[in-house]
């Protein structure tokens, strides 16, 4: 009897507790993201810290697959009027989001709705430029930004008789080093690169201060024609194609697959995102870090950020916007940003977080970790180096990748590949903005 009564009490109290918590329920804000592994843990931890810090809002992170899959999930959700509060969109998807006029609320407006003042000067200029409209309105919140750098295998350098403390600075130096490494047998392949589109065309153009396309590479307007069939690109890609013939350069794939070739010791030089650092540290390789190479007389200018930013959909309630604003304000806090930068290898988004990291002596202990920031911040961006924004950049990247693959397979030379790629990409851009 007592036992029975006890159960009733338990059930009743549990029920009333449920009711009570319902009455006080926090506004839920879903955050769709594409972060895996260690980066996923960071996302969960940030959401938890934010949720614990206040009780009015609850950020719920949801993993939605790869970057393109997350973007597509967000678009599909918007079409069926089920859009999440916050959507993480990768660099190449920024133009797609921007094309959806009215579907998005600029991050500055979101913060204003939450009663915060949005001060652009707090953020790293390169990142602000990349995520802003031509009139200076910042559109999305830069969550994880990275920049391409050069990694090299110190053991292979020593074996090939190269100076293991001096990474090659220019592209001709990289090609020479790669040939020496291959010829000496220090490793089976001299040089490889991840993301040929992002690193060897988009960042290549910015870093060497040559146009990738018209209209400030798309930042000044949607109507863009690619300019990557210019002589500097042709020269660069022909050099890579020539190295590919005898295996001095090896192709890994369209995204970050080539990292494997470097970590397995097969290739001695790699250009890859600074975000790939974690895996390379884990591989236990005796590696060094250098700046992204350039061509003498052109670069170095500044690199453009990769990674992803957080977008906010339009048509939400004021309460939700207030919550999102609180969360973004939380994310911009110096200690959060500094920690994010130091654990994940992504760039700090605010200047204060950068200063804080500098002061803590982190860069002295971890040489090379400042390189991607210095690359991006070294010089004020020119019209060639603010970024690349196309309404269909993912599609354009695919078109170019196909041409690069045909070129590296020896089916055509660099001139033909880049001319054809530019032509096809321009047609695709024209079709996309004709929508």
Partner 1 sequence: MQPVVFPNKILPYLLLAPQIVLTVVFFFWPASQALYQSVLREDPFGLKSGFVGLANFRAVLSNPDYLHSLKVTVVFSLSTALLSMAVALLLATAADRVVRGKNIYRTLLIWPYAVAPAVAGMLWLFMFNPAMGTFAYMLRRNGVAWDPLLNGDQAMALVIVAAAWKQISYNFLFFVAGLQAIPKSLIEAASIDGARGARRFWTIVFPLLAPTTFFLLVVNTVYAFFDTFGIIHAVTGGGPAKATETLVYKVYNDGFVNLNLGSSAAQSVILMVIVVALTAFQFRFVEKRVHYS
Interface residues for partner 1 in 78-107 (CB under 8 A)?
78-79, 96, 99-103
Candidates 22-30, 142-150, 304-312, 405-413: pick the segment binding partner 1 (CB under 8 A).
405-413
Residues 6+ apart with CB under 8 A from 195: 148, 254, 255, 256, 272, 273, 306
In the complex, minimum distance from the CB of residue 258 to partner 1, in angstroms, rounded to a whole number: 8
435 interacts with partner 1 by CB under 8 A: yes
Which range in 39-47, 160-168, 193-201, 401-409 contacts partner 1 by CB under 8 A?
A: 401-409
Q: What CA–CA distances, in Å, run from 342 to 42, 58, 347, 363?
A: 12, 26, 9, 10
Burial class of residue 398, CB neighbours in 10 A (0-12, 13-18, 19+): middle
Instruction: Annotate each residue in 147-176 with x if it binds partner 1 (CB under 8 A) or - if it does not, as one string.
Output: ------------------------------
Q: Provide the token pair at 57.
A: 């809002």
Q: Give min distance, CB of 100 to partner 1, in A.
A: 4
Q: Which 359-398 residues touch partner 1, going by CB under 8 A?
A: 392, 394-395, 398
Neighbours of 322 (CB within 10 A): 18
If you write DSSP's letter for every residue of 303-364 in order, what string do you get?
A: ---EEEEEEEBSS--HHHHHHHHHHHHHHTSHHHHHHHHHHH-PBPSBHHHHHHHHHTTHHH
Smallest distance, Å, CB 404 to partner 1? 8
CA distance linking residue 268 with residue 346, whole number of Å: 24
Nearer to partner 1, 17 or 409 (CB): 409
In the bound state with partner 1, the residue whose beta carbon lies nearer, of 141 and 251, is 251
234, 240, 268, 408: which one contacts partner 1 (CB under 8 A)? 408
CB of 269 to partner 1, least distance (A): 16
Q: Which is nearer to partner 1, 55 or 264 (CB)?
A: 264
Residues in contact with partner 1, shown as a per-residue x/- string from 223 to 262 under the rule CB under 8 A: ----------------------------xxxx--xx-xx-
Structure-block tokens of residue 346: 């992504």
The verdict on 218 binding partner 1 (CB under 8 A) reads no
Looking from the CA of 144 toward its CB, the CA atoms found within 13 Å total 26
Binding residue for partner 1 (CB under 8 A) from 214, 402, 415, 426?
Answer: 402
| Residue of 307, 387, 358 whose CA lies nearest to 125 | 387
Segment 41 to 70, residues that bind partner 1, using CB under 8 A: 68
User: In this structure, are residues 91 and 70 in contact, taking their beta carbons and an 8 Å threshold?
Assistant: no
Query: Binding-site residue total for partner 1 (CB under 8 A)?
Result: 38
Pick 6 or 411: Cβ nearer partner 1: 411
Residue 222 binding partner 1, by CB under 8 A: no
By CB under 8 A, the residues from 110 to 139 that bind partner 1 are none
Cα separation, 227 vs 288, whole angstroms: 33
Specify the residue, 356 or 420, whose C-beta has the smaller distance to partner 1.
420
Structure-block tokens of residue 395: 């599609």
142 contact partners, CB below 8 Å, separation of at least 6: 123, 127, 128, 130, 131, 305, 307, 309, 310, 349
Residues in contact with partner 1 by the rule CB under 8 A: 68, 72, 75, 78-79, 96, 99-103, 251-254, 257-258, 260-261, 264, 266, 392, 394-395, 398, 401-403, 405-406, 408-409, 411, 428, 431-432, 434-435
């Amino acid at each position: 009897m007592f036992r029975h009564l006890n159960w009733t009490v338990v059930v009743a109290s549990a029920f009333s507790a449920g009711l009570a918590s319902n009455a006080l329920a926090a506004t839920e804000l879903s955050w769709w993201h594409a972060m895996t592994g260690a980066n996923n843990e960071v996302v969960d931890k940030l959401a938890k810290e934010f949720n614990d810090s206040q009780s009015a809002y609850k950020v719920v992170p949801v993993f939605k697959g790869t970057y393109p899959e997350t973007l597509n999930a967000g678009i599909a959700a918007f079409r069926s009027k089920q859009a999440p509060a916050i959507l993480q969109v990768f660099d190449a998807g920024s133009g797609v989001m921007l094309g959806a006029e009215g579907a998005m609320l600029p991050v500055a407006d979101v913060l204003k709705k939450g009663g915060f003042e949005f001060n652009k000067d707090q953020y790293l200029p390169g990142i602000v430029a990349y995520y802003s409209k031509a009139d200076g309105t910042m559109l999305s919140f830069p969550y994880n930004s990275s920049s391409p750098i050069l990694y090299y295998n110190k053991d292979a350098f020593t074996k090939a008789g190269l100076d293991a403390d001096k990474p090659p600075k220019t592209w001709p130096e990289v090609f020479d080093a790669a040939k020496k490494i291959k010829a000496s047998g220090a490793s089976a392949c001299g040089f490889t690169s991840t993301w040929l589109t992002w690193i060897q065309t988009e960042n290549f153009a910015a870093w060497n201060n040559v146009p990738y396309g018209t209209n400030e590479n798309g930042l000044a307007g949607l109507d863009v024609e690619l300019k990557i069939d210019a002589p500097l690109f042709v020269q660069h890609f022909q050099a890579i194609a020539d190295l590919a013939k005898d295996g001095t350069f090896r192709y890994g794939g369209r995204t970050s697959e080539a990292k494997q070739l470097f970590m397995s010791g097969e290739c001695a030089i790699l250009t890859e995102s600074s975000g790939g650092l974690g895996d390379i540290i884990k591989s236990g390789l005796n590696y060094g870090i250098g700046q992204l190479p350039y061509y003498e007389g052109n670069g170095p200018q500044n690199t453009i950020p990769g990674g992803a930013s957080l977008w906010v959909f339009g048509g939400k309630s004021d309460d939700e916007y207030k919550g999102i604003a609180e969360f973004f304000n939380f994310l911009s806090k110096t200690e959060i940003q500094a920690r994010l930068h130091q654990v994940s290898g992504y760039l700090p988004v605010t200047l204060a977080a950068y200063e804080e990291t500098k002061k803590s002596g982190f860069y002295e202990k971890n040489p090379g970790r400042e390189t991607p920031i210095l690359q991006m911040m070294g010089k004020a961006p020119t019209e060639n180096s603010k970024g690349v924004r196309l309404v269909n950049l993912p599609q354009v990247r695919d078109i170019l990748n196909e041409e690069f693959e045909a070129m590296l397979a020896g089916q055509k030379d660099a001139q033909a590949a880049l001319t054809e790629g530019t032509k096809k990409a321009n047609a695709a851009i024209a079709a996309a903005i004709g929508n």
